[in-house]
Structures are given as C-alpha cells and as structure tokens.
Amino acid sequence: MTYQTLLFDIHDGVAFVTINRPDKLNALNDQVMAELADAVERITTAPEIRGAIITGAGPKAFIAGADIGDLSRQGPFDGKARAMRGQGVLRRLETCGKPVIAAVNGYALGGGCELAMACHLRLASDAAKFGQPEVKLGIAPGYGGTQRLPRLVGKGVALQLILSGEMIDAQEAYRIGLVNKVVPPGDLLAESEKLMRGILAMAPLAVRLCLEAVDQGIEMTLDEGLLLEANHFGLLAATHDMKEGTTAFLEKRPPRFEGR
C-alpha cells in the first residue's frame, strides 16, 4: 500500500511512522486509520523491523483525535464498527511483539491520546498536551481510552480526565504517569530513538516476552500472572541469548545477542 496520510521510513531496524495531516492537526480520518492498519501489519510481520516510533507531522499536534467530520456523520452501527476497527488496529500495535514508542510532539487528544496509550512507552515534548475531550462532543472515548487510561493512571485520575474533558500539559501527564519522560521539543525524536536503541541492544526474545508478560499478566490473577512469568523465564532458558547473556557477564565482555 502506498500511503497518502502517513510517512513510513525504516532506519537501521526502526520504523518511523509519522501521521501526516498537519493542516488538520493529524486527525484520524478513515483513510489514516486504513493506512495505519497496513503500517501496523508491516511493523508486526516484517523481520527487518525491530521496533517502531510513532509521531505527528508539524509543530502543533501529535494527533488531535478522531476526525470529527467523520464522527458527525456516523449512525449507531457504523459508529460501533468504527470504534471496533480502531480498537483492533491499536490492539494489534500493542501486541505486535516489538517495542513501540510514541513521540508525542503536540496535542494528543481523544484518539491521539488513545494511540499514544497503546504504545509501550511515551515520550512527550514539553509542548505536548493530553486529553480525552469526547464528552464535549456528546460522545465517549472509542479507541480504548476508557480502558487503557485507568490501567495507566488509576481509576480516579482517569475518570477526572474523561468526565471533565480537560486538557493537561506534559508535566502533569508525567506527574500522573501517563508519559515516561518529558524532553525539549527539539530533542524528542533523538531521545525517542536513543530509548529505542537501548531496548534493541537487549536480548530480543527476552524483550518480546517481557512485553507479553506485562500485557497479558495485567489482566490475570496474581497466581496466573506469576505462572505466565515462570513459563517465560523457563522458555528463555532454552535460548542462545540466555546462554550468551549470562556467559558474557561471567566472562566480563559485552553480549552478542541473536537478531540484533
């Protein structure tokens, strides 16, 4: 698929995806979502891609939400279908098995905040703003906001944001645990890539199973989650990377992991 609303570049194993509708603050219309679905599939399945960084084009917005023009025309059934399609794309991204970082360069509202939350880590420029303003439009979050926000920041703070529709700045997002780090705007992509390169220097299968254990385990009872963790721990003992990682430590040399 050739993209008209996304930029998609691969540099040394990292896919850089830029939502590219700056005149509409990168709002997620149906075309963006269709192209994003294709991009997520590429990230998931292409062996040469080992991680992804998602950002927005232009100086103002990461993504200012779902396209309100599209939403204004929807009825109950296509509305539900749109929500389920978007949720599916974001869930596929979240479970792609490779690290994904949101580099939040400006407004991350509605679907933008939801896309950022489906990424594994979030770096924000200090100009970024976050919010779930759907109630101001007579709708509710539809791409996972009511589910991922309370998991990230707790029920009380999530409800405060969702029910008020209020926007918060990057420092407040950091304070409540919505973002991992706040950096100057000019450093955002370089810092995101540095974080990604650090993760990609680790053992890839271990990283993959950590992502899976946290994603699946958070929905399990503690006992089920601990069993999943023990199974992963045992499985990794069968890998070259565990032998190499532990041997390299004991031999006081850097490890040479497979697939890096």
**Strand-pair partners of 52:** 15, 100
- Burial tier of 49 (Cβ tally within 10 Å: 0-12, 13-18, 19+): middle
Contact between 67 and ligand COA by CB under 6 A: the answer reads yes
How far apart (Å, rounded) are the C-alpha atoms in residues 61 and 97?
27
Check binding of 85 to ligand COA (CB under 6 A): no
69 touches ligand COA (CB under 6 A) = yes
Smallest distance from ligand COA to CB 66, Å: 4
- Residue closer to ligand COA (CB basis): 69 or 177: 69
User: In the complex, what is the shortest distance from the CB of residue 137 to ligand COA, in angstroms, rounded to a whole number?
Assistant: 6
HSE-CB for 55 with a 13 A CA cutoff: 23
Residues with catalytic annotation? 114, 134
Give me the least distance between CB of 162 and ligand COA, in Å please.
12
Between CA 260 and CA 176 the distance in angstroms is 34
206 binds ligand COA (CB under 6 A): no
Residue from 19, 40, 52, 64 that binds ligand COA (CB under 6 A)?
64
Q: How far is the CB of 146 from ligand COA (least distance, A)?
A: 13
Q: In angstroms, what CA-CA distances link 100 with 15, 42, 93, 200?
A: 9, 13, 8, 11
Binding flag, residue 109, ligand COA (CB under 6 A): yes
Please report the sign of the dihedral spanned by the C-alpha atoms of residue 44, residue 49, residue 50, residue 53: negative
Residues that bind ligand COA (CB under 6 A): 24-25, 27, 64-69, 107, 109-110, 133-134, 137
